[in-house]
Amino acid sequence: MRLLGAVLAGGRSSRFGSDKALAMLDGRTLLDHAAAALGAHVETVVICGRHVPGMTGLADRPAADMGPLGGLNAALHHAAAQGYDAVLTTGCDVPVYPDGLAQALIGDGAAILKGQQLAGFWPASLAGELDAHLAEENSRSIHGWLERVGARIVERPEFVLPNINRPEDLERFTFPRLG
């Protein structure tokens, strides 16, 4: 199975107070950490919602300010056009992607990690369905989309992912020990 990785990075970072994707952690941006962590599990990584030198950036689709679904929609269409079977996603504020998480998410249809709706598996065949969803009158929330496609909720407590929403979250963050 060909997997495209997509880091969803088009948010406003309102709780963080500045662009959290560019916040520094151990000498690298959160965005760099997220892309590298996801990259270990996929063929290629794209950044949704912004352009970053040296990385493939995709504009949110159909327009900016659509929330995470605009980035996911761009990734699904890119995946379908480039011959990928599915997309694995993460947020730009999640600097780790544990071994085994991809395998837990991959399956029949869409899936997310419980409590971390941006950590997901999305068949590329959902691109047209997401176009239709975004064209309708709805809140465009990820929760409505999950319900529409009947996404599996993967409950795996060993895959607790950090979510850095505020500067103090970044200050407290330490990388998990391996082994």
| pLDDT per residue as tens digits for the range 103-156 | 999 999 999 999 888 999 999 999 999 999 999 887 778 889 999 999 999 998
Q: Where are the beta strands (DSSP E) in 1-143?
A: 3-8, 24-25, 28-29, 44-48, 56-58, 86-91, 111-113, 116-123
Annotated binding site for Mg(2+): 93
End-to-end Cα distance, the chain: 28
Mean local confidence (pLDDT), 5-14: 80
Annotated binding site for GTP: 8-10, 20, 65, 93
Q: 3-171: which CATH number, 3.90.550.10, 3.40.50.150, 3.30.1180.10, 3.30.565.10?
A: 3.90.550.10
Query: Are 84 and 77 in contact, with CB atoms under 8 Å apart?
Result: no
Per-domain residue ranges for the chain?
Answer: 3-171
Annotated binding site: 8-10, 20, 65, 93
Enter the tokens of residue 152: 């599996």
Long-range contacts of 20-29 (CB under 8 A, 24+ apart): 20/92, 20/93, 20/164, 20/165, 20/170, 21/50, 21/92, 21/93, 23/164, 23/167, 23/170, 25/95, 25/170, 25/173, 26/175
pLDDT tens digit sequence for 44-103: 999 999 988 999 999 999 988 888 999 999 999 999 999 999 999 999 999 999 989 999
